[in-house]
């Protein structure tokens, strides 16, 4: 999977929306394709987000390094904790060594109930998001939208 296959963009012009406000450049990485699609759909209705989803940590790292070098670093990271190649913790550690990403807000996604992993995530990230809650949120939004559409017919 390449980044271009899983990119949701809202680019008004060079990192700004039509009102001149900055667009939130977001790099996400998660390995299950089903959850990746759900993540993209969750962001699809949010204005002013330029969301890029990677299927591997190394792809996310390479893209983040390139974006920083191009002068357009990401302003938000959303990483799964458990992934092939390296964990979300390891990926964040590598990115924190790049000056542009020393303080980038980071959310971790996880299906784990392991107290050690949960505590580590809460120490390293701005927020831990249980995958169950994201799925429930997306399903609820879709259900409400379908209900509204059915009443219009």
Domain CATH number, residue 37: 3.40.50.2300
- Domains held by the chain: number: 1
| β 76-80/24-29 pair status | parallel
User: Rounded CA gap, 107 and 78, in Å?
Assistant: 5
Q: Provide the CB-side half-sphere exposure for 135 (13 A, CA).
A: 10
Q: Which domain holds residue 87?
A: 3-152
Secondary element (H or E) of residue 88: helix 88-96
State pTM to two decimals.
0.74
Contacts of 146-149 with CB under 8 Å at 24 or more apart are none
Phi/psi at 13 (nearest 5 deg)?
-175, 125
Please report, in tens digits, the pLDDT of each residue of the chain (153 residues total). 333 333 333 232 346 666 665 677 888 887 766 666 776 777 666 667 788 888 899 999 999 999 999 999 998 898 889 888 899 999 999 999 999 999 998 988 888 888 898 899 889 988 887 777 666 666 654 565 455 446 544
**How big is the chain, counted in residues?**
153
Q: Determine contact, residues 102/69, Cβ cutoff 8 Å.
A: no
């Amino acid at each position: 999977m390449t980044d271009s296959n899983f990119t949701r963009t809202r680019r008004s012009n060079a990192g700004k929306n039509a009102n001149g406000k900055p667009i939130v450049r977001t790099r996400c990485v998660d390995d299950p394709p089903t959850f990746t699609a759900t993540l993209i759909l969750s962001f699809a209705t949010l204005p002013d987000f330029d969301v890029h989803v990677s299927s591997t940590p190394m792809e996310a790292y390479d893209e983040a390094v390139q974006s920083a070098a191009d002068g357009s670093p990401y302003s938000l990271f959303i990483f799964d904790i458990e992934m092939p190649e390296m964990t979300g913790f390891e990926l964040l550690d590598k990115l924190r060594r790049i000056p542009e990403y020393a303080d980038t807000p980071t959310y971790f996604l996880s299906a784990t109930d392991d107290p050690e992993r949960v505590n580590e995530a809460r120490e390293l990230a701005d927020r831990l998001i249980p995958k169950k809650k994201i799925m429930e949120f997306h399903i609820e939004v879709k259900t409400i939208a379908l209900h509204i559409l059915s009443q219009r017919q």
